Amino acid sequence: MPTLERPRLRPGLAAALDDSDPYSVLIWDRLGLADAPRRVTLREFRWAQMLDGQRTLRDIQAEVMCLAGGELLALEEFANLVERLDEALFLDGPRFRERLDGPVREPSCIGCYEAEPDALRRQLHGLFTGRQGPGLPRVQPPDGRLRVALVPHIDYHRGGATFAWGFKEVFERTAASLFVIIGTSHYSPHRFTLTRKHFKTPLGIAPTDQAYIDRLVGHYGDGLFDDPVAHLPEHSIELEVVFLQYLYEGRRPFRIVPLLTGPFQDCVETGSEPRFREDVGRMVEALRRTEAELAEPVCYIISGDLAHLGPKFGDAEPVDEPILSQSRRQDQAILQQAEAADPAGYFRLVADEGDRRRICGLPPTYTVLEAIRPCHGKVLHYDQYVHPRGYESVSFASVAFYR
């Protein structure tokens, strides 16, 4: 295990000169695991770059003093910097490893939603009852027809009403207490990544079903835990867990299975349907076999958005109405394939575009539809967020899939 005897900066950090102080550098965590940026002096930043896990503090002290022409520098100055970086979780040491290896995943999306539990409940209540919302879910015995729900993972401020439409259907149409949440992976290139961590939010801790994970791993094989960091900053699972906690709080306990899906770009580039890829086909079969072994209903939550347009995502031109209209038409064509529960047709439309609109929901949507094969789907709500100056646009939908 890494120690602070030979301190090492961990991956995922970024740095830039502080605009408010030309003699300082801000270091922050691109993965969102650390709480806040930290400011260091230019001299300290040069020292921090020497924290490679090979040198001791005395090695660094001697090297710096040599480069500085023999300037006397106390070892305590280096030790103080290391302690501050360690407290910030910027070092690959015991504190960071505890965060990485602990049984509970801490929330990473507070700010997207309220941090205080009662304020969060009010926020979610407003998403159901607001102008675009579907109204509160009816409390009645569910008919059990729902197999799968596709919901967004954009932040609540921009897509909250669409979330509410999807989760209202979940609450009213499934008796499941086990939710397999399959979401887009934004931080890892790995095709599929599981975690055994339980998910913590201001509304409590949602337990992860370890027995289901054991079965899934048994059918899929090795490789599902190769990226231990992937789930920690990821929002595509957490934003769905919050809604489940809100809906089932005080009603019935539930468990989750958090599974991330990485890019299908190789399939798009070759035009080869993903199920013919060995790893995708293996996951499809593993999901089928695992469910077949269970004596309880399962509800699958697909966490994915649709098009990502504008300069924020690499397009040359700002988003305008002609671009938005064309994208809406393309989205509707894709959603028609979803309603037909046709994963091959869904994939073909995205691949024929060359995924130029960056449909981030492709991997989880295809995987679930191919594995579960629901009879048909129904679009519940669709929307586009558009930046006021056209810097970005993201489209998203909630779709219910039935037996």
Domains along the chain with CATH numbers:
13-100 (no CATH), 103-402 (3.40.830.10)
The residue-averaged pLDDT of 262-290 equals 98
- How confident is the model over 215-230, as pLDDT tens digits? 999 999 999 999 989 9
User: What is the CB neighbour count within 10 angstroms for residue 308?
Assistant: 19
Sign of the four-CA dihedral 133, 204, 304, 149? negative
The residue-averaged pLDDT of 325-352 equals 98
Residue 98 pLDDT level (bands cut at 50, 70, 90): confident
Residue 122 pLDDT level (bands cut at 50, 70, 90): very high
pLDDT of residue 65: 87
Mean pLDDT for the chain? 95
pLDDT at residue 279 greater than cutoff 60: yes
The residue-averaged pLDDT of 348-375 equals 98
pLDDT of residue 4: 67
pLDDT at residue 254 greater than cutoff 90: yes
The residue-averaged pLDDT of 128-141 equals 96
Give 385's strand partners.
394
pLDDT at residue 3 greater than cutoff 60: no
- Name the percent of the chain lying above pLDDT 70: 99
pLDDT at residue 99 greater than cutoff 90: no
pLDDT at residue 70 greater than cutoff 80: no
